[in-house]
Structure 1
């Protein structure tokens, strides 16, 4: 469910007409719903019920500080994967003891930043990383709490580019080597082992891969405890999918996910961490664009938009589907015909949809890409010297620009000309 609905013939974001935002901000722009962010976070929090837990939002999905502050105010922790994300979370007011540091390539500088600023835990992904963290923590005279990310070799049955739990993926250590790695960790100075971390991928639309992975984690927990390790926390990652189409996708509900966690891991008495990103932010955002031209080609028609692949890379990178709807609601039973929906970037890859059935649209009309809140604005770029698009947050009857569109001068003036030129 989201809060982008037609009302009186036009699309609204909560209680604000999308066309009103477009008139003030210009297009293209991202628009987020506070009510949807709130609802989806609470679904996860309530799904874990009375189990000791912390929902750590995976901020790589959408990291604007206004979004982070909204979620932090609901009690969310943050899952970060870079020093920049750590600094962004702290700037949004998130305390260090609610920040989990994930990622396969943490640098010593990032480790130092987090240890000095406060951290809940590091999710360590390799022995070299663990040894580097030991050196940094020892040099600062502190102890770094860690989980070790284990790779359970479970097929998440998702897109190859967002699968992370198979043996050939770069993430974590093989679960078969876990006992040796934990023994190594226990012997290192400046390291405190507190738990286990696992994350098998993103946009999962069934529970069985999670169940398979969590059963392996439960068995490993018992084994490590028998070896003398105090395993008190299980970080289960994220990855629950969202319905990108309104017709044929039905991912599991957070309530079903929480019940499965309780079934597989509840007997261990561990604190549970989950790191949802896409399900919290995905359906909480839309990308609004304007039709520049309607063009007839050889046997096909094109809708050419002012938004492009640099604004929303998912279709070009992942062949991802987004429902695209007119901002003005079509009449019931309105005729539809196939359009290729494309942007203005000079690449054939700048295509959002092919032969998509749409009602006839005219130059200047607005369309909205649904389910664009996750991995949209955060993955955008200034390719073709196209400005990053504004981000807007709606709260009831109010809206505010939470990232402005830069001017051409601001973009160009970031360049520095060498003296010899």
Structure 2
């Protein structure tokens, strides 16, 4: 495999799709050695087939706002690879959504889903629709119009969408309600559903819980623990909420949250009341975090700055892609950071990751650390198929086992001769082998 040649060809074919090309580059550089050791992969052109989606649907969404004005958005669904199971991946509703971002997310999802060991392929979808400031009726009309275009190409054994940025239980409910009406069946095709109509316990917290469990496994390899650790977190949605809950439970102290307006530094750490307020702040349909400092005056708000300047033991970016760059990494390292865990998808730039590796710092990529969300989505699919519900304790135990298994796979393929674990390499190789071997078994299709 000639990584440079493949990337040059992709860039020529897909110019300007920076996020997608970044995600492909990271995987190819990690798996190059093992790929070249297995000529059967080259003979079947596994890489050339893997880096291109099976298909992409792009469609117009027309809907009417409360003032009676017609609005038009673009919608997408990227069905990337289904070698090991139905396409599986969230629907992102955000003004930044474009094909490059959805292809990067769908490509990452292939390996993330493979790491869970559950039978799920990789996909992603979304729209440039912005749910912020919209009424419930406007969101319902948009979601129903979105589903009118998508319903024919999804299904419980074909493609199972889920939530993502801008898509929570409300949006999934509106989408699934329309799907159910159009399809004339109640097959639970979406995950992240409400508890009273097929959802799974701890699904909203699962990404944050899972990332914390993965971090615990990293700490265990160093005979370390969360006890007394200072943890910086970005974002303040469900993911940051799940991290804050579980880190606090395990003895750590989360001291930051962030939004587009800046970040909050709370030296005392987030407790139960503050975490509950975090949820209510997010539910207020407002992106800003500054009101936190007004409610809890011991906290400080720093406008238009990022939380990575705060000294910490563990940094957990939990907001959006490429949110932690090279300069942030330099500050973290100078301040003595010991572990970095991506909870957002591709939360760190390649330059930041390179610095962490050069300094032999344990760094967990999102495709491994944040797989708990899709892991519990897979458990939700199983519960729907069996027409039963597991208890919170049962789901949590299965989640813990999934994250422990993912850490073991990363360690198996990522440990060098000095004992340093390159979690990026380990995650990419483990996920790739599972998918590539399945593609070989299925023939050229």
What is the TM-score normalised by the length of structure 1?
A: 0.29
Larger helix fraction of residues: 2
Larger strand fraction of residues: 1
Structure with higher Rg: it is 1
What is the TM-score normalised by the length of structure 2?
A: 0.28
Q: Which has the higher contact order (CA 8 A, sep 6+)?
A: 1
